[in-house]
């Protein structure tokens, strides 16, 4: 059976995935002051960072409509959808509602929506795993079961230069983001199983925080020889490369890759942010 994988634009794709026709993107919309930016292949990261740096206001994002997903559900292919955590965005709910409406007219269509319970390269890993199973010829329900089991074992950690956007958007309830600017404290953050954000630890300065993140990954990773290390960076490839080398020096991951953040991840990670999933 043929297939397609629909992802929202918080999924930070590799260059090969961007060129692969099996993948289709549903963009979120970014808003900063009076500027509206569609998070698709026209997104200019450096220009966006300049606009954000020059504005006293925090950028915001809007999730896709159910109709945006429905437009891509057509065709004869099995459809798999991967979205940003339902606890961080309405993208998942839009995809699910679009599926419900589409199936009312096309009840025999195979459509599955995966709530990543995470963001960024965690979504990328889920999408890549769907393709791996689909290319291996596995059936629709078998792929669903296998991907759900795979998703439960994924971990996401990140270190950002500042937490202002996450704090102002309400994603950091109970976390004192003000410390990051006053004392140069850089928290090591993580995604929870429920798809929310928690603080694992903290260090003074970005390099110490990144090293601490590598320590935590080394301690909690299981069967790394069966896992892929995925790293997303916002406008700092060298930092991402150093993080990758530090982690691989400690942990024998099966594979690894680095991607640049697209619009949504850029908005939340901020200039210099590093996100790791495995």
Q: Quote the CA–CA distance of 19 and 180 in Å, as a whole number.
A: 38
* Six token digits for residue 242: 């150093």
Crossing angle for the helix pair 121-135 and 140-152, to the nearest 10 degrees: 150
Could you tell me the sign of the dihedral formed by the alpha carbons of 122, 127, 133, 138, in that order?
Answer: positive
pLDDT at 180 > cutoff 60:
no
pLDDT band, very low/low/confident/very high, at 169 (cuts 50, 70, 90): low
pLDDT band, very low/low/confident/very high, at 184 (cuts 50, 70, 90): confident
Summarize pLDDT for 210-265 with one digit per residue, the tens: 999 999 999 999 999 999 999 999 999 999 999 999 999 999 999 999 999 999 99
CA atoms within 13 A on the CB side of 240: 23
Summarize pLDDT for 54-112 with one digit per residue, the tens: 998 989 999 999 999 999 999 999 999 999 999 999 999 999 999 999 999 999 999 99
């Amino acid at each position: 059976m043929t297939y397609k994988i629909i992802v929202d634009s918080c999924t930070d794709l590799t260059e090969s995935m961007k060129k692969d026709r099996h993948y289709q993107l549903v963009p979120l919309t970014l808003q900063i002051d009076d500027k509206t930016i569609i998070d698709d292949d026209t997104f200019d990261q450096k220009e966006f960072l300049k606009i954000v740096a020059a504005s006293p206001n925090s950028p915001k994002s809007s999730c896709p409509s159910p109709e945006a997903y429905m437009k891509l559900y057509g065709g004869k292919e099995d459809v798999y959808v991967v979205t940003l955590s339902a606890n961080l965005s309405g993208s998942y709910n839009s995809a699910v509602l679009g599926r419900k409406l589409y199936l009312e007219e096309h009840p025999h269509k195979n459509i599955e929506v995966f709530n990543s319970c995470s963001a960024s390269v965690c979504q990328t890993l889920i999408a890549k795993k769907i393709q791996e199973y689909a290319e291996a010829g596995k059936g629709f329900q078998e792929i669903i079961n296998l991907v759900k089991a795979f998703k439960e074992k994924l971990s996401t950690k990140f270190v950002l230069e500042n937490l202002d956007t996450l704090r102002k958007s309400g994603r950091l309830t109970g976390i004192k983001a003000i410390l990051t600017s006053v004392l140069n404290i850089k928290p090591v953050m993580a995604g929870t199983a429920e798809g929310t954000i928690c603080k694992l630890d903290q260090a003074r300065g970005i390099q110490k925080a990144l090293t601490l993140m590598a320590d935590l990954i080394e301690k909690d990773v299981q069967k790394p020889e069966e896992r892929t290390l995925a790293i997303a960076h916002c406008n700092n490839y060298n930092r991402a490369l150093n993080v990758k080398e530090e982690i691989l020096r400690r942990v024998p991951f099966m594979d690894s890759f680095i991607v640049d953040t697209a619009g949504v991840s850029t908005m939340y990670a901020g200039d210099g942010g590093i996100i790791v999933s495995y």
